[in-house]
Amino acid sequence: MANYGYQGAYSTTTYGNQNAAAEGGGFMNGSQSGSQDSPGGTKTYGKDTLRPVTIKQLIEAQQPHPDSEFKIDGTDVTQITFVGQINSISSQATNTTYKLDDGTGLIEVKQWIDADAISDPTKQLPKEGGYLRIWGRIKAFNNKRHIAVHVLRPITNFNEISCHLLEATAVHLYFTRGGPPTGEVKAEGGGDGGMFVDNNGGAAGGGSNASKLSKMSPIARKVYELLKTSQQSNEGLHVNVIAQQLHVPANDVYKAGDQLLGDGVIFTTVDDETWAVLEY
């Protein structure tokens, strides 16, 4: 299954086919918690990531076109991981289907049976009412959504459930509100813990623009950061230049620009597509 990233130049490899029962997870190269990336650094858009999610997020994931990658919070998801309590188990000739519930929704999870695998009699078999940790991918089949499992294992330490759901929240907030503002990262101690720090509080000292930025999408912040820091004439930068320097599609830059223009932190100069930072 090829994963077509935003950048055509990337050749992205996904490992394994989804039908292997005991397939290991793919190649992880995401920067979900990489809030300390330098602005304008290479963001690994379109590459395989492993994202912790809730079942509600899986049910509500958007698929822009059939066969395209699913999107959660506007970001492509490839591999996902979640936890859930087993509602029912149905064993079929080729696969085992579990219905899992994590309190946020219910989803079907299919594990294909690998005929060549040597069965291990000591292995703990999942039981109804037990909790499972799943690694897999979202699949759509006849308008029905299910998860194709790469790996699953029963949960024995129940703190994993709290941990997972909090992690899913942190990642959700990272994608919707952005990580802690760059430059404030150190003051907040950085790391994952910083995600729960109120962004407005963190940026309060940075003036009105900083507090507006903390509510914007990560890409809008990157565009602002670039406009603010890069060498330029007083005409500012053109959309295409920004897109090139940030390695993102021009479309995304337009959207980011709309947010920034709407909030009055940047303004248009020689034409509608050339922007500069509004300092006051």
- Residue that is written with structure tokens 């000739």 in the block: 93
Minimum distance of another protein from residue 165's CB (angstroms): 5
When the beta carbons of 162 and 208 are compared against another protein, the nearer one is 162
With respect to another protein, which residue has the nearer C-beta, 84 or 136?
A: 84
Question: Is residue 195 within 8 Å of 180, Cβ to Cβ?
Answer: yes
Rounded to the nearest whole angstrom, what is the least distance from the CB of residue 175 to another protein in the complex? Answer: 11
- In single-letter form, the type of residue at position 241 comes to V
Using CA atoms, how far apart are residues 163 and 223, in angstroms rounded to an integer? 33
At 118 the three-state DSSP class reads coil
What is the residue type of 5? Answer: G
Give the whole-angstrom CA distance, residue 114 versus residue 131: 22
Q: Would you say 54 or 209 has its CB closer to another protein? A: 54
- The nearer residue to another protein, 61 or 223, going by C-beta atoms, is 61
The minimum distance between CB 102 and another protein, in angstroms, equals 9
With tokens 């003036």, the residue in question is: 207
CB of 21 to another protein, least distance (A): 27
Residue closer to another protein, measured from CB, 18 or 169: 169
Q: Looking up tokens 């064993």, which residue turns up?
A: 91
Which residues have CB under 8 Å from 189's CB, separation 6+? none
Do 25 and 150 contact (CB within 8 A), yes or no? yes
Query: At closest approach, how far in Å is the CB of 159 from another protein?
Result: 5
Residues that bind another protein (CB under 8 A): 53-54, 56-57, 85, 101, 103-106, 129, 131, 157-159, 162-163, 165-166, 168-169, 172-173
Kindly tell me which of 177 and 247 has the beta carbon lying closer to another protein.
177
Least distance in angstroms from the C-beta of 51 to another protein = 12
Phi-psi region of 74 (alpha: psi -120 to 50; beta: other; left: phi over 0): left
